[in-house]
């Protein structure tokens, strides 16, 4: 998913629902996504908690994610 697409989704979602959190993983390794820090930044701009879960087998952009 591109950060711009996530932004469009969240822009619509926050007008229609009370979003408690966004999970940027589901049965996959989020650190494989080359734009994970950008995706987290999009979620943060909306003031929504962002959840990421990893087994840290593939750590990339850790500093940017934190």
| 10 token code pair | 């969240």
* Percentage, residues of the chain above pLDDT 90: 65
* Whole-prediction pTM: 0.86
* Percentage, residues of the chain above pLDDT 70: 100
Residue 3 has pLDDT above 90, yes or no: yes
Confidence class for position 4, pLDDT limits 50, 70, 90? very high
Span 23-46, average pLDDT: 92
- Tens of pLDDT, residue by residue over 41-60, are 999 999 999 999 988 877 87
Residues near 30 by beta carbon (within 8 Å), at least 6 away in sequence:
24, 36, 52, 53, 54
Question: Cα Rg for the chain, rounded, in angstroms?
Answer: 12
């Amino acid at each position: 998913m591109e950060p711009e697409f996530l932004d469009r989704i969240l822009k619509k979602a926050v007008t229609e629902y009370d979003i408690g959190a966004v999970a940027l993983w589901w049965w996959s390794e989020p650190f494989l996504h080359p734009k994970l820090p950008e995706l987290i930044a999009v979620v943060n701009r909306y003031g929504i908690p962002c959840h990421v879960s990893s087994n840290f087998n593939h750590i990339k952009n850790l500093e940017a994610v934190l």
